[in-house]
Structure 1
């Protein structure tokens, strides 16, 4: 029987098929856009919307909606985590510094962001390998601005396609269910 640490290490090396319940989103970390690590365990007890982003995409305007969503719900616990990726059409800038500046200057983004990260294929980040295993290939990112909603307990609640706007009523309802009432 593999330990959690061994499972995470194995996932980093190859796409491992995992059984539901062996891991949660809280078991994963990403390199941060400013260096260091962004551990999803930092957000334990809070819902997290994980969004693979790109700076030169036709959906880049969604940054405005993501920031508005974060502004609306951050005091109730929601975290939006931007995951810049160059996996779809080569639409991301070349460096983390360029991505950070672009997001700050054009969208005033202040939610946490990761380093540029692969979200599909053999080099996909282990979180994305795990999420695909949890929800199925049809719920994996097929383009930029795909959204995974993680519950306060670290379980994947659902996936929302690129075309799901940050203010979509179904997305908002799913987030509201995870937030403390009041």
Structure 2
């Protein structure tokens, strides 16, 4: 199985087969507009602009499952992303990433790569660990996405290579992208 077997809705409601991205290195991100990690949109757009001509694409999937940090409509999300961060990479309709209503794509992604733990040296990482462990001391177990801006790097064949938690620096992700695009 690979991501190429899934169909998703674009942010403007069109059905999109992820097989359209076969042969590309793909970074899938669950996003939110009112999150401490929202400024990552700018870093992601910069990453996309540097590598999009080298068969690399970022796919953004808004999600409102974490403290109601993406309450807006798809139209307002698209406008916010474009006007505030200049996002030009493909954005998709709002989805759930965990639980019974989880998008089949995200159920697949999380089944392929478990939670990696937050970088506790990251200022938000320590806070997230405190918040989530106070709600459930076993929060780190399992494959569920724990917060917004979790990322999955997908190979050109559609298989999941690695999962990045939101506290992973963009430079680390970029290093992996460069390495893969350079055939190493």
Report TM bin, short chain: 0.7 to 0.9
CA distance in 2, matches of 1:27, 1:151: 14
**Selected match of 1:68 from 24, 30, 46:** 46
Contact 2:111 2:143 in 1 (8 A): no
Task: Say yes or no: does 1:163 pair with 2:155.
Answer: no
Change (3 A) 1:173 1:40: same
How many residues align structurally? 157
Task: Say yes or no: does 1:106 pair with 2:84.
Answer: yes
- For 1:1-182, what aligned pairs fall within 5 Å after superposition? 23-136=1-114, 138=142, 140-166=144-170, 168-169=171-172, 171-180=173-182
TM-score (norm 2): 0.81
Contact 2:34 2:69 in 1 (8 A): yes
Gaps (5+ residues) in structure 2?
116-141
Partner of 1:3: none
**1:79-105 deviations in whole A, cap 9, x for unaligned?**
000000001111003200000010011
Contact 1:38 1:114 in 2 (8 A): no
Q: CA RMSD in A?
A: 1.4
3-state SS of 2:84 partner: helix
Change (3 A) 1:29 1:180: farther
CA distance in 2, matches of 1:113, 1:53: 10
**1:109-148 deviations in whole A, cap 9, x for unaligned?**
0100100011111100001111222223555421000000
Superposed displacement of residue 180, structure 1: 4.9
Moved more, 86-95 or 146-155: 86-95
Contact 2:41 2:87 in 1 (8 A): yes
Moved more, 44-53 or 172-181: 172-181
3-state SS of 2:167 partner: coil
